[in-house]
Amino acid sequence: MNIELLYIKDCLNFKKARRLIHDTAKSLGLNIPLRKIEIKEEDDSKKYSFPGSPTIRINGVDIEPETANTIGLTCRIYSNGTGLPDREILRCKIARASGIKTVLFICTGNAVRSQIAEAMVNHFLKDRWVAFSAGIIPMEVNKDVIRVMKEIGIDISRSKSKSVDLFTNCSFDRIITLCSDADRFCLNYPDYNEKDTIVFHDPISSGFGFGQIPLLKRLRDDIKKTILTHLKNS
């Protein structure tokens, strides 16, 4: 796999982009050489079809082609409104390019079920799968979910809820929806090879209220048993 970082020397985000690439590859257990290309003049911009600094390409393909529609010696703004691509997008595309299997879990709010499933896979199956999660209507990650996951040694306190739209231009080996609402209301799934629906009851959004620790523990354990077995057999 070939990763290129194209930049302008005085770009404030160059070092941040370099660190982002390094940290993301490391989180996947990969040690990938990074080719840094300095864009010095307009001729370089044209030669490399340079849309702005910093630009990251994996095997010659821009990390975010939808924002790579100009050429010139300028700073680049990504779809998240910053000068760096989203970490989850980079992680997904590096994983895919390196041949690691990827799975995206989708539920309504990305606050309970899909967060648990993502964390379980990344903890117990990290040698075989890289997991991601998203919601149709993203909500804050439930604090009691963080608590019951911490009880089994998995820290998701820094996890953020994400919209499924974030992954529009990504592709996955497998998408697994964890509630019927996802299949009813999610009209535009990211690209995938296979798709499954495995429904789990959510004690929080179903009206039982917050603080239902025993119910969340049961949900946690059900997701662990079902999802890990499902992916191990895939």
* Residues with active-site annotation: 107, 179, 186
Q: What are phi and psi of 107, to 5 degrees?
A: -140, -175
Q: Which of 3, 28, 18, 10 is nearest to 132 (CA)?
A: 28
Strands 55-58 and 3-7, by their bridges, are antiparallel
- Match 């009209």 to its residue by tokens: 187
Alpha carbon of residue 95 to chain centroid: 10
Name the amino acid, one letter, at 49: S
**What's the half-sphere exposure (Cβ side, CA atoms, 13 Å) at 118?**
27
Could you give the C-alpha distances from 219 to 144, 148, 184, in angstroms and in order? 12, 10, 22
Query: What would the two tokens of residue 81 be?
Result: 């409104």
| Half-sphere exposure (Cβ direction) of 38: Cα atoms closer than 13 Å | 5
| Contact yes or no for 141/159 (Cβ under 8 A) | yes
Calpha distance 145→161 (Å, rounded): 13
Return the structure tokens found at 124: 């117990």
29 Cβ contact list (under 8 Å, min separation 6): 126
